[in-house]
Amino acid sequence: MLNTLTLKQALDKLDKKEVTLSEINSDINKAIKEKNEELNVYLTLNDIAVTNTEEKSSLAGLPIAVKDNYCTRDLRTTASSTVLDNFVPQYDSTVIKNLRKAGGHIIGKTNLDAWAHGSSTETSQYGRTLNPRNTGHLPGGSSGGSAAAVAADLCIASLGTETAGSIRQPSSWCGVVGLKPTYGRCSRYGVIAMASSTDSPGPITKTVEDAAIMLNHIAGHDQYDGTTTTKEVPDFTSFLDQDLKGMKIGVVYTNIEGLEEIKDTFLEQIKVFEKLGATVEIVEAMDPHHAIGVYTIIQRGEVSSNLGRFDGIRYGNDRSFFGHEAKNRIMLGTYTLSKGYADQYYNTAQKVRTLFIKDYKKLFKEYDVLISPTSPGFAKKIGVSESSAMFGELEDMLLEPSSIAGLPGISVPCYRDQETNLYLGLNIVAPMFREDLVIKAGDAFEKNTKWNSWRNK
């Protein structure tokens, strides 16, 4: 089955003419037909035919799944909210433009928590996605559809977006690789805004190698996004297969309440880093619980402003189509930005955010990268998010500090429970614009452990 090829494998096989693009597409389409209805991964499939072109391009026309909050020209984009039920963008987001230019083919738009609000896909107004590893469980979110599309081999690679965990947490739950680039590394232009000050587009893939290839094609300065960096984009694949000798790794959050279930397993799995020549130390970091408050206030505030444009005058459906979660967030954000409260909430949150940034600066003087579990546990059972208003924030707690600090991070599978077939993820965080370090450490971990299901079939 050619749909199970990694991006790198597919590119190699196409290059050597061992397979054709149409053979790969046909297997992908078959898999979609078999599984999409049950898993609810794709909200919209792109029926524009790809010609099996002889013309060489970097991504060779391979099918890429795209989270449905990226604006795609002439292809319906809903952000999983019925407010945008029939919204067909007039333009491509910059990342999509870059992807198309590199020869990537958008095979379809994947499910997410509506407006990316959530960590389960259960707030999607088009129904939840199921975890392909165990369909009684959730895929995580908000990029749950993209993570599930990769896990179920319904695409070769995919794109997600992360505001605070939305790439890495579903990647952890689905047993795939999720790379959240530095804020400003990939353009946000054309990504339906959630929390503008932390939104980061990034790849969700089968391997770290694939993530590096994808990042090569989507990263870079964009004249349409004033928050993108003008720093040069390195060849991220050049950081693969590197020696970890001398790398200093700090392990954070091991003593956090709620991690008891997985702590020992996690510490056991990261021993491999020492074998690979790195030094590993457990280190104290600022309590991630504070990040929940900071993130909740900043994100709700920005959401309340960003969603204002869906006022019923354009885009077909009016405000009554907003779901419960979005309404919740709009109201909280409106309150925290109101006169007399902005100082108490929004401005205070920004100050605490600065404290996290300072804490990271201090830690990165001692360590090259910081690692922790991606999520406090395995994928939760379906329906569980519905009774917890702060579900996402608790699930993403370990990722929120690095998100609000704008840092790059990667989640790679670091354990599989044989009984449930569910995964744990290892989160690696590095200083701003040091994606090279997370790729280097993640790739070494992946290649020297047995947890990547594509490398260890």
Partner 1 sequence: MSESCKYHLVCGMEVHAELKTNSKMFCGCKNDPFGAEKPNSHTCPVCLGMPGALPVANKKAIEWTIKLGLALNCKINLFSKFDRKNYFYPDLPKAYQISQYDIPFCYEGVIETSHGPIRITRIHLEEDTGKLLHKEIKGEDVSLIDYNRSSVPLIEIVTEPDIKSPEQAEEYGRALRDIIRYLDIGNCDMEQGGMRLEANISLQENGKEGLPNYKTEVKNINSFKFAKQAIEFEMERQEEILEEGNIPKQETRGWDAKKSVTFSQRTKEDAEDYRYFPDPDLPPIRFTTEQIEKIRKDIPKLPHVLVKEWKENYGVEERYSSILFNSPSEAKWLEELFVLSKKEGLKANKLVGAMVNKNVKYNFTDKVESVINEFKKLNKTDDVSDDDLIKIIDNVIKANADTVARYKAGEKQLINFFFGQTMKALGKKVDGGLLRKLLTQQLDK
Smallest distance, partner 1 to C-beta of residue 375, A? 26
- The number of C-alpha atoms within 13 Å of 139 and in the hemisphere containing its C-beta is 34
Residues 295-314 that bind partner 1 (CB under 8 A): 301-302, 304-305, 308-311, 313-314
DSSP class of 72: B
> With binding defined as CB under 8 A, does residue 22 bind partner 1?
no
Residues 42-81 that bind partner 1 (CB under 8 A): 69-71, 77, 79
162 contacts 16 by C-beta, under 8 angstroms:
no
Name which of 32 and 330 has its Cβ closer to partner 1. 330
Smallest distance, partner 1 to C-beta of residue 110, A? 16
Query: Is the preceding peptide bond at 387 cis, omega within 30 degrees of 0?
Result: no
Q: Is 180 helix (H, G, I), strand (E, B) or coil?
A: strand
Name which of 25 and 229 has its Cβ closer to partner 1. 229
Between CA 65 and CA 90 the distance in angstroms is: 20
Q: Which listed residue (126, 173, 189, 321) binds partner 1 by CB under 8 A?
A: 189
Between CA 52 and CA 58 the distance in angstroms is: 14
> With binding defined as CB under 8 A, does residue 408 bind partner 1?
no
Smallest distance, partner 1 to C-beta of residue 232, A? 19
> With binding defined as CB under 8 A, does residue 453 bind partner 1?
no
Between CA 373 and CA 50 the distance in angstroms is: 40
> With binding defined as CB under 8 A, does residue 126 bind partner 1?
no
Residues 237-296 that bind partner 1 (CB under 8 A): none
Smallest distance, partner 1 to C-beta of residue 337, A? 4
Q: Which listed residue (4, 22, 58, 227) binds partner 1 by CB under 8 A?
A: 227
In order, the DSSP letters of 350-410 are HHHHHHHHHHHHHHHHH-SEEEEESSSSSPPBTTGGGG-TTHHHHHTTTTHHHHHTT--EE
> With binding defined as CB under 8 A, does residue 188 bind partner 1?
yes
Between CA 290 and CA 389 the distance in angstroms is: 17
141 contacts 112 by C-beta, under 8 angstroms:
yes
Residues 6+ apart with CB under 8 A from 136: 130, 381, 382
Cα dihedral 389/392/396/397 (nearest 10)? 0
Name which of 56 and 327 has its Cβ closer to partner 1. 327
Smallest distance, partner 1 to C-beta of residue 188, A? 6
43 contacts 80 by C-beta, under 8 angstroms:
yes
Smallest distance, partner 1 to C-beta of residue 286, A? 22
* Tokens coding 417: 């429970």
Residues 327-346: x/- map of binding to partner 1 (CB under 8 A)?
-------x--xxx--x---x
Name which of 286 and 315 has its Cβ closer to partner 1. 315
Between CA 412 and CA 391 the distance in angstroms is: 22
Name which of 49 and 313 has its Cβ closer to partner 1. 313
143 contacts 166 by C-beta, under 8 angstroms:
yes
Name which of 53 and 86 has its Cβ closer to partner 1. 86
> With binding defined as CB under 8 A, does residue 193 bind partner 1?
yes
- Which of these ranges, 15-23, 90-98, 387-395, 435-443, lies near partner 1 under the rule CB under 8 A? 90-98
> With binding defined as CB under 8 A, does residue 364 bind partner 1?
no
Smallest distance, partner 1 to C-beta of residue 297, A? 11
Q: Specify the amino acid at residue 274.
A: E
Name which of 300 and 416 has its Cβ closer to partner 1. 300
- Which of these ranges, 53-61, 82-90, 138-146, 234-242, lies near partner 1 under the rule CB under 8 A? 82-90
In order, the DSSP letters of 97-141 are HHHHHTT-EEEEEE--SGGG--SSSTT-TT-PPPPTT-TTB---S
Catalytic residue positions, numbered: 67, 142, 166
Q: Which listed residue (75, 155, 167, 191) binds partner 1 by CB under 8 A?
A: 191
- Which of these ranges, 132-140, 172-180, 221-229, 273-281, lies near partner 1 under the rule CB under 8 A? 221-229
Smallest distance, partner 1 to C-beta of residue 91, A? 5
Q: Which residues of 376-402 are buried (b: 16+ CB within 10 A; e: fewer)?
A: bbbbbebeebeeeeebbbebbbbbbbb
Q: Specify the amino acid at residue 238.
A: S
List of residues contacting partner 1 (CB under 8 A): 69-71, 77, 79, 84, 87, 89-91, 93, 188-193, 195-197, 223-227, 301-302, 304-305, 308-311, 313-315, 334, 337-339, 342, 346
